[in-house]
Amino acid sequence: MNPNDILRLLIINNSRSEAERLISMLNNAGRNTRAQHVESEDALVKLLQEQSWELAIAHAEAENLAPADAIRQIKRLNKDIPVILQTEEEGSHPVVDGLRMGATDVVRMDEDQHLLLVINREMSNRENRQARRKADRKFKEAERRSQQLLDSSRDAIAYVQDGMFLYVNQSFSERFGYEDPDDVLCLPTIDLVAKADQEETKAFLKEFTLKGEEAESTEISFTGLTSDGQEVKQQISVAHAIFDEEPCIQLVMRAAKVEANSAEFEAKLDEIKQRDVQTGLYNRQFFMEKLEAAVDKASEGDKGFTLTYIEADAFFDRVESVHGVSVADGIVKALAEMLSSQIKDEECLARFSDDTFAVLSPGTSADRLTTRARSLCKSIADKVFDIDGKTAQITITAGLSLITEATKDAESAIDQALQAIEELRKKDKEKITGNDALLYEPKETAEGQSITKAVQKAVDNNRFKLLFQPVISLRGNENELYEVLMRMVDDKGEEVQPSDFLEAADNIGVTTKIDRWVILESIKMLSEHRAKGNNTSLIVNLSRHSLTDDSLLPWLGVAFKAAKLPTDAIIFQVREIDVTNHLNAAKAFCTGISKLKSNLCIANFGCAMNHFTTLKHVPAAYIKVDGSFTQDVQNGNEGADGLTNMIKELHKLEKITVVPFVENASVLSTLWQSGVHYIQGHYLQGPAEGMNYDFSMDG
């Protein structure tokens, strides 16, 4: 930020004289300041909605407006306004408390030089965030325009990777007699080539893949096969390209030149392209352009906009499947008319999808627009739609999100509105009806909700749940294997990731208690699952506290015996760093697990300085390499040799190897060739609440 620019500042404290002193100090320091002393929460909300602000300075003991409430409102209204707390207390405690509250920093009163440095830093950080958001929007706009050019190009264009299509445009699919590009995507590339030319085409593409632009030719003629089996001569140009972040080959077949249409015809065509045929409202593409433009304006200092996203509740089940398509279409049209009657001239209403509408309103009067949306929900719920003599009633749910300088892009605004709709529907037992409107508000951080108390409450009330992610054999092992993952459930019934609460659990000494709950629940659920005839095993994670707990091994023996479960059905997994930091305890635990006839797995393997030395002391049967190795291969960072060599060394030691973080197909050939035993990742299946993966698909 340029020091000559005006600093738009909110001051929250108990003394106007102190506020004036702050302003004077900033002006004397060369920081031109336009400030507002805020004395109530309502006043703050009004100021946030009507004007743009860049910084807030609040006294930790402000009486008329608590800093925590101010921070909450700033987050609720989606404002990028750093809050600096001032305190009269000494020591680190007020700093820690302030940061947990959501302040960007905490400064002692009267330490003006420190405060100036913090202000400069935060303004610089804010400027960087704005620049990043603007760059992201420009990048997404460039991607969107590129995609539109590809989709609308008269040239036939396709992108191919490993013999399969990643993308084809409409012209390409029509060139081969297919109406829908999706019909081509499921075909191998070579299926569009006549049999007589397939070998030559394969050799050409293989040579180009290996040599690139140094290949003898970048064009090839061949006989193509259309959807009805007709043979048509084709000529393509090829080039290396990146599509959707994937390296691939671009295929292009040029279209014959034609004269451009008249300007009048183009204008009519543009109007048609902007409208939804059934309702006459603007369509999704036009609305997204308006929404992206609104995000850009808000980032440049405009007062902002509000997005209202409206979904009909369970429309297919309630209307279309009961009354038929014609009645459903009639209700959609009638609903569009009702919405249109409520929309002002400066607003933009569009049909976003089959039973979804969206409204873009200038300004960020969140309360007024939420009230209007709720009134609309009630009006529609009370209305009886009569279409062709058939009557039906529907409800809608509306989610609102504010578009301000902090909004990253159009997609994030829509995602926030959808989260508000999901929040409303959670209140319904069937999770399908909201019949209300809600403004999206960012969730409080774990610190803000006192994560320590939340963890203690979860431990006291067993408010945890287990998820299961399949671990797939690449060597044809018919046994089923899952890793057990844990989530905490908060007061709202929402899942909390382990990374958000395990540190707090460690601090209050309940980690081993949580571990034992996980073990008992895993044994219980596995026993029930195996009773149905499934030959299934589980990998259960242990913390460093359980690893060093002498009482765990005797307790495990009793637990296995009580459940009548074979001890080899559970594999206990510990992190490599915990093993190296507690080598003697890990060695004793490994020996004890072996006596129980169970197995140990060391996870995150390969990050320690002397990881193979560790195996001499702790000879675990299973080794799960660190996910960073997999990510290096998938990201093209030349990590394949390091991963392959590590796996080979582990196999020499007769270890069973597991590779996690398999997120796409690019790494599979490397893993297959390395001879790894098991793989795991979202490409195969993410964590699920049941042990329901179909392992026969990989057999």
* 499 and 616, same domain (yes or no): yes
CATH of the domain at 563: 3.20.20.450
* 502 and 632, same domain (yes or no): yes
| Separation between Cα atoms, residue 633 and residue 224, nearest integer Å | 35
Output the CA–CA distances (angstroms, integers) from residue 599 to 539, 567, 614, 622, in the order listed.
9, 9, 17, 8
Tell me if 27 is assigned to some domain.
yes
Higher per-residue confidence, 661 vs 83: 83
Show which of 253, 282, 316 is a domain's final residue.
253
* 246 and 274, same domain (yes or no): no
HSE (side-chain half, CA atoms, 13 Å) at 582: 17
Average of per-residue pLDDT across 295-316: 87
Q: In 10 A of CB 275, how many CB atoms?
A: 15
In the block, residue with structure tokens 């299509």: 165
Tell me if 691 is assigned to some domain.
no
Average of per-residue pLDDT across 563-576: 92
Tell me if 357 is assigned to some domain.
yes
Show which of 207, 224, 253 is a domain's final residue.
253
CATH of the domain at 313: 3.30.70.270
Q: Among candidates 162, 147, 156, which has minimal Cα distance to 226? A: 156
pLDDT of residue 215: 62
Tell me if 147 is assigned to some domain.
no
Average of per-residue pLDDT across 234-256: 86
CATH of the domain at 222: 3.30.450.20
pLDDT higher than 50, residue 259? no
- pLDDT confidence bin for 172, thresholds 50/70/90: very high
Tell me if 656 is assigned to some domain.
yes
In the block, residue with structure tokens 């352009």: 289
Average of per-residue pLDDT across 180-191: 87
Tell me if 100 is assigned to some domain.
yes
Which of 127-131, 429-433, 545-549, 684-688 has the weakest average pLDDT?
Answer: 429-433
3-state helix, strand, coil in the chain (%, to 5): 45, 20, 30
Counting other chains too, the contacts that 245-248 makes at CB distance below 8 Å and 24 or more residues apart are: 246/161, 246/166, 246/666, 247/161, 247/636, 248/159, 248/160, 248/161, 248/166
* 590 and 640, same domain (yes or no): yes
Domain count for the chain: 4
* 348 and 229, same domain (yes or no): no
Full-model pTM: 0.49
* 64 and 96, same domain (yes or no): yes
Looking at residue 442, its amino acid is P
pLDDT of residue 297: 87
Tell me if 390 is assigned to some domain.
yes
- Is residue 6 helix, strand or coil? coil
- pLDDT confidence bin for 212, thresholds 50/70/90: low
b/e map 425-456, b = 16+ CB within 10 Å:
beeeeeeebbbbbbbbbeeeebbebebbebbe
What tokens appear for 287 in the block? 């609305």
pLDDT higher than 70, residue 87? yes
Which of 14-23, 32-41, 628-637 has the weakest average pLDDT?
Answer: 628-637
CATH of the domain at 23: 3.40.50.2300
* 481 and 353, same domain (yes or no): no
pLDDT of residue 2: 47
| Separation between Cα atoms, residue 112 and residue 17, nearest integer Å | 16
pLDDT of residue 408: 82
What tokens appear for 323 in the block? 């009354």
What tokens appear for 319 in the block? 């209307």
pLDDT of residue 108: 94
Average of per-residue pLDDT across 220-227: 90
- pLDDT confidence bin for 615, thresholds 50/70/90: very high
Is the alpha carbon torsion for 253, 254, 256, 258 positive or negative? positive
Cα 22 to the center of its chain, rounded Å? 41
pLDDT digits (tens, 9 = 90+) for 475-521: 878 789 999 999 998 877 888 888 778 878 887 888 899 999 999 99
Tell me if 454 is assigned to some domain.
no
| Separation between Cα atoms, residue 9 and residue 21, nearest integer Å | 13
* 240 and 271, same domain (yes or no): no
pLDDT higher than 60, residue 287? yes
* 315 and 276, same domain (yes or no): yes
* 276 and 244, same domain (yes or no): no
pLDDT digits (tens, 9 = 90+) for 537-563: 999 999 989 999 989 999 999 999 888
| Separation between Cα atoms, residue 420 and residue 444, nearest integer Å | 14
Query: Are the C-beta atoms of residues 402 and 366 closer than 8 Å to each other?
Result: yes
* 109 and 174, same domain (yes or no): no
Cβ neighbors of 264 (< 8 A, separation 6 or more) are none
* 434 and 486, same domain (yes or no): no
| Separation between Cα atoms, residue 93 and residue 55, nearest integer Å | 23
Max distance between CA atoms of the chain, in angstroms, equals: 90
DSSP state of 72: H
Give burial (CB, 10 Å; 0-12/13-18/19+) of 90: exposed
Domain extent, residue 394, equals 264-439
Q: In 10 A of CB 630, how many CB atoms?
A: 23
